[in-house]
Amino acid sequence: MFTIEKLTNGKKNPKSPVYEGVSRQKRFETLVKAYSNDLYRFAYWLCSNHSVADDLVQETFLRAWKALDNLLDEKKAKSWLITILRRENARRFERKSFDLVDIEDVVVEDKAALSPEQSLEKQQLHQAIHNLDIEYREPLLLQTIGGYKTSEIAQLLKLNMNTVNTRLFRARNQLKQQLSKDMLQKRG
């Protein structure tokens, strides 16, 4: 990955001599290669639709390309891209009117590779996660899918670290309760 030297004032400058040998295109390609899989996983967990997740990632990288010179610290690239993706996902709701479908008409993704029990467990876990309020779901996904630390999640979501910890705790408890309830129904 490209390196960026710190200037004497502690800030990084995209016009610095370090960037002279690295083209804008090359910097962008490096970002895409490094983070596209992580962004896709996070986008898919947000929307549960492969084509929408692809669109979100594509829009994220389009916006990232346009604002690439604003990325001054390579260590913050993943957080920067996740923030762009979250905003793109929010924009999707601003401009879209939803078509409602019956839940029984929804087809669950490729079940052939999993045993029936595994498929059911996976479906129950996905449903339980999607049943969480967004305020609990988002930090949980950032931690489990994105691999972010609590302090990084707090920065991304612009929340107090104690608030993030509380939301993560509540999200896990709600998941446990929902999955336990599902297990009892399955047995009974």
**For 97-118, what is each residue's pLDDT tens digit?**
555 555 455 544 444 567 777 7
CA 32 – CA 62 distance, rounded (Å): 11
**What integer pLDDT is reported at residue 95 of this predicted model?**
62
Average pLDDT for 22-36: 89
* pLDDT category of residue 23 using cuts at 50, 70 and 90: confident
Which pLDDT value is given to residue 64? 93
The answer to whether 141 touches 45, Cβ cutoff 8 Å, is yes
DSSP 48-74: --HHHHHHHHHHHHHHHHHTGGG---G
- pLDDT at 113 (0 to 100): 66
Domain residue spans in the chain? 17-94, 117-187
Spatial CA neighbour of 22 closest among 4, 8, 37: 4
Rounded Cα gap, residues 84 and 92, in angstroms: 12
Nearest 5 degrees, angle CA 157-CA 7-CA 150?
A: 20
pTM to 2 decimal places: 0.53
Compare 61 and 20 and report the one with higher pLDDT.
Answer: 61
**Which of 4-8, 25-29, 126-130 bottoms out in mean pLDDT, i.e. has the lowest?**
4-8
Tell me how crowded residue 141 is: count the other CB atoms within 10 A of its CB: 21
Q: Please tell me the predicted confidence (pLDDT) of residue 125.
A: 83
Q: Sorting pLDDT into bands at 50, 70 and 90, what band is 12?
A: very low
Look up the CATH number of domain 17-94.
Answer: 1.10.1740.10
Model confidence at 60: pLDDT above 80: yes
CATH of domain 117-187: 1.10.10.10
Task: Give the mean model confidence (pLDDT) for residues 153-164.
Answer: 92
Secondary structure (DSSP) of the chain: ----PPPTTS---TTSGGGTTS-HHHHHHHHHHHHHHHHHHHHHHHH--HHHHHHHHHHHHHHHHHTGGG---GGGHHHHHHHHHHHHHHHHHHS--PPP--GGGPPPS--TTS-HHHHHHHHHHHHHHHHS-HHHHHHHHHHHTT---HHHHHHHHT--HHHHHHHHHHHHHHHHHHHHHHHHHHH-
- Mean pLDDT across 115-141: 85
Burial of 133 per CB tally in 10 Å (0-12, 13-18, 19+): exposed
